[in-house]
Structure 1
Amino acid sequence: MPGTEEDTENECPTDAKRQKLDSDGSVTDQTGGVNNDSDVGGVKNQTKTEEFGSGGSEDSTERISKETDDMITKETDVGITADRISKETDDMITKETDVGITADRISKETDDRISKETDVGITAERISKETDVGITEYISSLPGFNGVLKQRYSDFLVNEISLDGSVVHLTSTDLPCPLPEEPKVELVDLETVSPEDAAKLAELLKSKNQKESVLIEAPDDKNARTKVHSEIARAFPGLETVTVTKGDRRLIEVKIMSNRGNLLRQWPKGRGDYCKFVLYKENKDTMDTIGLIAKNLGLKSSLFQYVGTKDRRGKTCQQVTVFRVAPEKLKGLNKVLRNIVVGNFSYVDRPLRLSASRGNRFTVVLRAVTGSLAQIDAGMQSLTEAGFINYFGMQRFGTQAIPSHHIGRALLQEDWKTAVELILKPRVGDDAQLAAARGYWWSTRDSGASIEKFPRFSYIERSILAGLAAREQDYYGAFSKVSRNNRLMYVHAYQSYVWNLVTSQRVRQYGLKPMVGDLIIPLDTAAGNEQPEDNTEGLTDEVAPIKARPVVLDEASIGKYTIYDVVLPLPGFDSVYPDNNLQGLYKEVMEKDGLDYTNMRRKHKDFSLAGGYRHIVVRPKDVSWRLHRYDDPTSPVVLSDWDVMKGDTLNNTSTDGGHLALEFQLSLPPSCYATMAIRELLKIDTSSNFQSSLNVT
């Protein structure tokens, strides 16, 4: 728990007295920063509310409330209180070691036992802790210190890093300089179209009737026909032409252009086909934000390209490209969308690719910090020099009582009904509307009537229910109505769960040195291959397996590599597994779930997992830190890009403030979770419910 005011005053100097020496001995004033891959924490028992659109107020959290705890405790129809389930589960698992079953397991049998407690349609499953998803080990044995992560979403900033190493910032909402207009073609200048036909074409264009057309006699000579097509295209933007044959006559048919053709025709020459812009968002998910932008522009989300998803609970900046959408239209969104700003517009020839990023720059503020200056310095120095275990963080598995990897397991088992029910079933922690909607479906199984009971933002549930309403009992068909990104989210979560478990066992049993049979992908080789999967906090860049092929370490080469070159595979049909005892761990973990790690192909392509590789230990780059004293726990300690553009200033720091905050910056490769670096620093659980319990108001 956070220490007293006296403790922090005596043990930590003010920022005015404190600077950090760089490795070369120079003094660096350490400010700013940004952060990306984790959606945890929040503020508990806050009463202040602010209007921030669909993102909610900054005081809102993924809270595990006292009311929720009380509700869980009442679910005792089977004689086991939910407060005791965790302990009894732990006891049961521990006792299984007596008969040769490892305690690493979060067993399917335990999950099944808990899931059966549904007399009132509410599962007694608790929201996951780190140990539930295989996150158990640390790099250093240093003691941690206390601090609260994401007490405010303004405490977590994320800025994408471009391929050239520059950090992406929102600095302007100005439009790019316009290109000179092409000279307008006058009808009198037309050489190949008669005045009568030109008048008909003008009337057709004015009518905008896509069912009407005008027929023009076509010259026999191909070059002459081409000239007619070209002149009509120049003189009448919005019309399209095609040569047709009617009997023995060759004609040119002219019609109103289709929507896509119109888009292609009207885009000015001399500019790239894609508009690239910086997307700034606050307290919103990347995919939801792109969906909102697309909806307001009347476009499909698939027209937008971005490298990966950024944290929901934070202030983030990333690049986006979109095909032939004018920056004027994009800029107009700034007037109508809350907590979303677009700017830094430019034209480019190609869309963003999944490999178009070198990672993310994080600025993190830990509030209510306690611990001695020596502890803080030692922890930051260890994180800088030794790094952290590259676990998939808690946001990979969701913050609700039914983790994403449980659904992914059912999908890989091709148990479509279970997967659908896990998504739709009642669970603890829902608000009143969601709880009522889930309860109605669970008790009636009336999918059609249930759809409108779910809020609009529950698009996964509503998509599944629409499928079930159309074809009852077709659970696979219903699940296929969910967007591909979200379908992949679940199976990727299961891959991540297995990887975490095996990685913990590897570190626990064999330490942090390479061993014969390990898989090696040197960091310089991996840099160009560590890419987010096709688009997702959660979905895309969070998995991002390396696609390079590994080398199996032997006795002759073991001295050439360090633990930072060692990778472990994500289970998949194209993955190579370590040539040592670790391969057996994959078999053991997945057999308990009825799955075969050597057979990851499925009849349905989306659930055929190729696999990939992930470094087990990562060192952050460009690390810096500083301490702040502050009084107001609800005021910002750092400024985001948009804060700077608005001219905001900080007024929450003083030399004698009652609370202490640690601000630090670091850069991480794609798919690495900053929360796992923070976990290494603090030596505490980064799950949202635990962090909520630490909040100071």
Structure 2
Amino acid sequence: MSSGVFKFLDTRCFLCYSAESRWDTLALLSITRQKQEKLCSIYLKMKEDSDETNVPECFISDHEGFLGSIKNFIKDFVVTEIDINGQYVNTAAETQTSACASSHKHSETTADSLENSHQSASQETGDSADCGADATIPSPCSFDLSVILGQAVSEELEQFVLTLKDENTSKQELSLGHFSDKHHRANVHRAVRHRFPFLMTVTIQPEIRVREDPDYRELSQLVSEDEAEDFFRFIDAKVRGSSYTFGPDDNKEHRTAVHHFLSRRFGKLVETKSFVDQAKTAITVRLREQGRPKKRNAEERKEEEVYTAFVLCKENLETLEAISYMAAALGVLPSDFTYAGIKDKRAITYQSMVVKKVSPQRLREKSSEFESRGMRVSQILPVSEPLRLGRLQGNHFDLVVRDLRPHGFSDTHSSSKNSHSQLTTLVKEAVENVKARGFVNYYGPQRFGTVQSVQSDRVGLALLKEDVVGAVRLFFTPEEGDDPQSQAKRHFLQTDNAKESLALMPSSKARERLMLRALNRYGTGPDGCAQAWLSLPHSTRVFYPHAYCSRVWNEAVAHRLTSLGHRVRRGDLVWRQEESKNPECTGDLPQIHVVTEQEEQEEVFSLRQVLLPMPGNTVKYPENSTGTWFKERLSRDGLNNCRFRVGSLKLNLPGCYRPLLATPHNLRYQLSPAGGGRGEEMEGSSQGDGQLNGASEGKQDPLTLTLNFDLDSSCYATICLREIMKCDP
């Protein structure tokens, strides 16, 4: 066979050797020799499709552009959030940037030494800071025992747990130390119970001791250890209206024993019932609506209502990663933090946040701990309410593009006396064009994931087609290499054994572990895979269909510009209310206007007012060839009758509108030699003769471009750079 060869691993999967000279895993429930050639060709086609560019090469300006590199240093990419009132969240951005940057000497750190900043939403992130507040993916709650207890005590506790299981005794007890601060004691209790639901903590002030919970030991004799752990987490959370369902159990006597135990030990708090679903019987536990309320004193009730706002400066950290650490250090949940938008990882970023149940004083006390992790908090003050996602005007960017050179660059250019002058002309033309005309408002590659071999939009397509099993398989597609995460994913695809894969999966991969835990409990068939998706937060699930719709939107923009040109045409959709800067995701149909033939001839509207819809069940499509293209494109993916609702996964995509073009505001730029010298600073249409201070005779240092501009929320700075440079930066 010309397209590839096979290497069998077992009856469930095989490896396909592709033209990329690597082995890729294809897992199937069963496989026969007669299907090998067909399956391999399908798989290679899938790989070819998944490697297509996420961002089409279609631009609004026709300048030549230039080459260069970004993010060589963390300080080369600085993002400052612009609040809803149009103010930078950090008014002393330059001073703060210097302070935050110096804490880790990032000027010595190159981009090659950093992790990849964006993974697909199935991994760690959604959109980056680059794109504002287009989506959010909250991380599951977590507590870092090494932070709360200290590394030594945390390790001692881990060993104590192993000893408990090995020696099968409940008489042992461990002291976790003395804690004089009541907040610290509360953090210890919550963290230990969250990490080890089978342990109970006892305070003999100021000492905290830990021992095995005898109720857990008894329940684990009736159900699996995983179920017992999950049940105790459910009890500990005490979320009113919530429920927990044990695995299917066809043994009536055994179910009776479980009912009796739960009634005896937790009867005042919960009620239990056996339900039959698809011929399978299982016990569901619900918290009683009139259950005994948790007693809180006046001080605790007052603390529940405390909100503290602050500005977070972080370096080389994802927003959710930073929140997870701060939550553990403060003894609150990640969900107690609210923010206006996700920010980039490989950057220095400033953003507003609000944390619940933490006073300004407590936050200040933890500042030194945060600094050791590349975070600084400032402008700490009490507020009356949390932040809402999307409550920002946009982001301000301070970017540095290094090693500038023309397209088609060769070494002979470096010794040319006129090379800097010619390059300066190219740069000025490019920046001025984008300042005047804007840029095509594509979703950036971060939207789709730049690391996963199968990207998040492919997972989203499978979910929209209600192929939950296929979506799970795509979700667990491994990367190249033998890192623990890829090993665990590969093991799952090869063996279909979720329990063993869960043991291999790193504890930091919360989403993968949630999925595997559900697959272990409910099986890997359609029902089990649906439960696995439901185990993820809704905002995580919905990200994948959104990623698919974003890819379609990108392709639609390229088709619109290629087929209909750069003028407004009859049937285009436009936004008529000029006072609203960003109509995206308004869903307000009366404000969307369809351009008439007369309006096209009279050029009533500009291209900046043209919108394209994100596919969904409430949007209007253009009434011209672009609308036809949308229908054909969705039909090609098998979505011609798609309602953009997946009831079994509680997903509903109404759709929204996104401007075809975006414009950088307050744009300034400066060219300077890499070897030093201030260079030439330019703003707007200012003119210069192209001569740069610090340039030497003969062979000259490479040029560096510094850019400063604002973008509306949900716009990507990397896409703006792409239009300027006419290449992927």
Is 1:150 equivalent to 2:71 in the alignment? yes
Is 1:387 equivalent to 2:438 in the alignment? yes
Of 581, 597, 603, which aligns to 1:555? 597
Amino acid at match of 2:597: E
- Offset at 1:398? 0.2
Answer 1 or 2: higher relative contact order, Cα 8 Å, separation at least 6.
Answer: 1
- For residues 301 and 163 of structure 1, the distance between their equivalents in structure 2, rounded to whole angstroms, comes to 23
Amino acid at match of 2:435: T
- The residue number in structure 2 matching 1:482 is 536
Flag the structure with higher strand content: 2
- For residues 551 and 280 of structure 1, the distance between their equivalents in structure 2, rounded to whole angstroms, comes to 41
- Partner-residue secondary structure (3-state), 2:56: coil
- For residues 469 and 436 of structure 1, the distance between their equivalents in structure 2, rounded to whole angstroms, comes to 18
1:57-456 pair list within 5 angstroms: 80-82=18-20, 116=43, 128=51, 132-169=53-90, 258=295, 262-266=299-303, 273-337=306-370, 338-371=373-406, 372-400=423-451, 401-428=453-480, 430=481, 432-456=483-507
- The residue number in structure 1 matching 2:624 is 580
- The residue number in structure 2 matching 1:603 is 647
- Partner-residue secondary structure (3-state), 1:137: coil
CA contact (8 A) 2:583 2:659 kept: no
- For residues 157 and 546 of structure 1, the distance between their equivalents in structure 2, rounded to whole angstroms, comes to 34
- Offset at 1:602? 2.6
Q: Normalization by structure 2: what TM-score?
A: 0.59
Is 1:661 equivalent to 2:704 in the alignment? yes
Of 512, 515, 520, which aligns to 2:569? 515
Q: Structure 1 residues 602 and 78 mapped into 2: Cα distance closer, same or farther (>3 Å)?
A: closer
CA contact (8 A) 1:160 1:168 kept: yes
- For residues 299 and 284 of structure 1, the distance between their equivalents in structure 2, rounded to whole angstroms, comes to 20
- For residues 291 and 508 of structure 1, the distance between their equivalents in structure 2, rounded to whole angstroms, comes to 45
- For residues 381 and 448 of structure 1, the distance between their equivalents in structure 2, rounded to whole angstroms, comes to 57
CA contact (8 A) 2:616 2:656 kept: yes
- Per-residue CA deviations over 1:543-592 (Å, capped at 9, x if unaligned) read x9888841111134443210000000000111111111211111111111
- For residues 500 and 573 of structure 1, the distance between their equivalents in structure 2, rounded to whole angstroms, comes to 19
- For residues 297 and 487 of structure 2, the distance between their equivalents in structure 1, rounded to whole angstroms, comes to 43
Amino acid at match of 1:595: L
- For residues 427 and 322 of structure 2, the distance between their equivalents in structure 1, rounded to whole angstroms, comes to 37
- The residue number in structure 1 matching 2:510 is 459
CA contact (8 A) 1:170 1:279 kept: no
- Per-residue CA deviations over 1:63-108 (Å, capped at 9, x if unaligned) read xxxxxxxxxxxxx9756421699xxxxxxxxxxxxxxxxxxxxxxx
Q: Structure 1 residues 275 and 380 mapped into 2: Cα distance closer, same or farther (>3 Å)?
A: same
- Per-residue CA deviations over 1:264-315 (Å, capped at 9, x if unaligned) read 3347xxxx94211111111221122222222322222222211111112211
CA contact (8 A) 1:587 1:597 kept: no
Q: Normalization by structure 1: what TM-score?
A: 0.62
- For residues 607 and 145 of structure 1, the distance between their equivalents in structure 2, rounded to whole angstroms, comes to 43
- Per-residue CA deviations over 1:111-166 (Å, capped at 9, x if unaligned) read 98667369xxxx9669745xx32522001111110101222232111111112211
Amino acid at match of 1:603: G
- The residue number in structure 2 matching 1:26 is none
- Offset at 1:436? 2.0
CA contact (8 A) 1:574 1:610 kept: yes
Q: Structure 1 residues 619 and 545 mapped into 2: Cα distance closer, same or farther (>3 Å)?
A: farther
CA contact (8 A) 1:412 1:491 kept: yes
CA RMSD of aligned residues (A): 3.5
Of 509, 516, 521, which aligns to 1:470? 521
Fraction of identical pairs, as percent: 28
- Partner-residue secondary structure (3-state), 2:713: coil
Of 613, 618, 632, which aligns to 2:662? 618
- Offset at 1:594? 1.1
Q: Structure 1 residues 564 and 257 mapped into 2: Cα distance closer, same or farther (>3 Å)?
A: same
- For residues 673 and 597 of structure 1, the distance between their equivalents in structure 2, rounded to whole angstroms, comes to 32
Number of aligned residue pairs: give it: 469
